[in-house]
C-alpha cells in the first residue's frame, strides 16, 4: 500500500492513441509541480494492464481508442482511481460524468485548463502510523521503571491508584485511566468505568451477569469483568 506521507506525488497514467497528443500532454504535465507520469498508453489493452499494475492516482483518458473505448477501459480496470477524460468529441460528456469523471477536457486544451482540472483531484490525507507500543512510567518502590504497553494485560483503578497487570507482576502508574487511555495504542479498550483491557492478550471470553462479560488473559490468573456497555463496546471492537 502506498504511503502518502512519504510519497505525496500525483501519479498519472496517460491513455491517448495519437502520439502527438500524448507528447503534448506529457509536456504539459511536466510543467505541473508534484505530478509524475508513470505510463503513456497508446491503446486500451496496454492501459488496462498498466493501470492495474501501476495503481495510479489519476488517469487522463481519451475516449476514441480504436476497437475499444475509454469507457471499456473503465469497465476492465480493477484499481480505483480518479479519471479525467480528454477527447475531441463533446457528445460523450454526459456519459463521462455518469462514470464519475472529475472533468472532461475538450481538445485542444491549454495548460491553465489542465491545471484547473488537476485541482479537482483529492489525494488521501497522509496518515501517521500509530505506534505498535508506547512506553509508560511505573513506580517500583522509590524508583521509576519504563513499562512497555504491549506487556500490559489490563489496567484497573482502585482507591486513587491505577494498577497495570503484566505477565510477571502488577505496576502502579501515574495518571488517570482517561489520561492513560489517550496515550495507549488502539488495542486498549475501556470496558468498565474502572477498567481498561489490552485486547491483544484476551485469551477467553465468557458470558457474565446482566449482559456483562468475563475476560481471561494470557499468562495471568486474574480476570476482568466488563460492564454491560463495555461488553457491547468489546464485541464491536472484536467484530463478535
- Condensed to tens digits (0 to 9), the pLDDT of residues 85-115 reads 999 988 888 888 888 888 999 998 999 999 9
Distances (CA, A) of 161 to 28, 138, 156, 177: 64, 12, 8, 9
Last residue of a domain, one of 92, 118, 144: 118
102: its cell numbers: 472529475
> Which residue range is the domain that position 147 belongs to?
135-237
pTM (2 d.p.): 0.51
Strand-pair partners of 86: 105
In whole angstroms, what is the distance from residue 237 CA to residue 217 CA? 17
- Of 148, 20, 30, the C-alpha closest to 12 is 30
Whether residue 42 lies inside any domain: the answer is yes
Sequential pLDDT tens for the chain (240 residues)? 444 444 578 999 999 999 999 999 999 999 998 899 999 999 999 999 999 999 999 999 999 998 899 999 999 998 888 999 999 988 888 888 888 888 999 998 999 999 999 988 876 655 555 566 788 888 777 788 888 889 999 999 988 789 999 987 888 888 889 989 988 888 999 999 999 999 999 999 999 999 999 999 988 999 999 999 999 999 999 988
Whether residue 127 lies inside any domain: the answer is no
Whether residue 198 lies inside any domain: the answer is yes
- Of 107, 114, 184, 106, the C-alpha closest to 149 is 184
In whole angstroms, what is the distance from residue 90 CA to residue 83 CA? 16
- Total domains in the fold of the chain: 2
The CATH number of residue 109's host domain is: 3.40.50.2300
In whole angstroms, what is the distance from residue 37 CA to residue 12 CA? 5
Whether residue 210 lies inside any domain: the answer is yes
The CATH number of residue 178's host domain is: 2.40.50.1020
197 and 211 Cβ atoms separated by less than 8 Å: no
End-to-end CA distance of the chain: 27
Degrees, nearest 5: CA angle 204-209-211:
80
- Condensed to tens digits (0 to 9), the pLDDT of residues 19-58 reads 999 999 999 999 998 899 999 999 999 999 999 999 999 9
Amino acid at each position: 500500500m502506498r504511503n502518502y506521507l512519504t510519497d505525496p506525488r500525483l501519479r498519472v497514467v496517460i491513455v491517448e492513441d495519437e502520439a502527438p497528443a500524448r507528447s503534448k500532454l506529457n509536456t504539459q504535465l511536466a510543467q505541473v509541480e508534484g505530478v509524475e507520469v508513470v505510463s503513456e498508453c497508446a491503446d486500451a489493452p496496454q492501459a488496462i494492464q498498466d493501470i492495474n499494475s501501476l495503481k495510479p492516482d489519476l488517469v487522463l483518458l481519451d475516449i476514441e481508442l480504436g476497437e475499444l473505448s475509454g469507457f471499456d477501459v473503465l469497465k476492465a480496470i480493477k484499481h480505483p482511481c480518479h479519471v479525467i477524460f480528454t477527447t475531441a468529441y463533446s457528445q460523450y460528456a454526459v456519459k463521462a460524468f455518469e462514470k464519475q469523471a472529475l472533468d472532461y477536457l475538450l481538445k485542444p486544451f491549454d495548460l491553465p485548463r489542465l491545471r484547473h482540472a488537476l485541482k479537482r483531484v483529492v489525494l488521501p490525507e497522509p496518515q501517521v502510523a500509530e505506534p505498535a507500543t508506547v512506553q509508560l512510567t511505573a513506580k517500583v518502590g522509590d524508583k521509576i521503571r519504563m513499562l512497555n504497553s504491549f506487556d500490559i494485560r489490563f489496567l484497573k483503578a482502585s482507591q486513587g491508584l491505577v494498577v497495570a497487570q503484566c505477565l510477571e507482576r502488577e505496576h502502579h502508574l501515574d495518571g488517570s485511566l482517561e489520561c492513560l487511555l489517550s496515550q495507549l495504542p488502539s488495542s486498549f479498550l475501556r470496558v468498565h468505568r474502572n477498567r481498561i483491557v489490552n485486547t491483544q492478550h484476551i485469551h477467553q471470553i465468557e458470558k457474565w451477569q446482566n449482559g456483562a462479560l468475563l475476560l481471561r488473559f494470557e499468562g495471568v490468573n486474574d480476570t476482568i469483568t466488563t460492564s454491560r456497555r463495555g461488553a457491547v463496546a468489546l464485541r464491536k471492537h472484536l467484530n463478535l
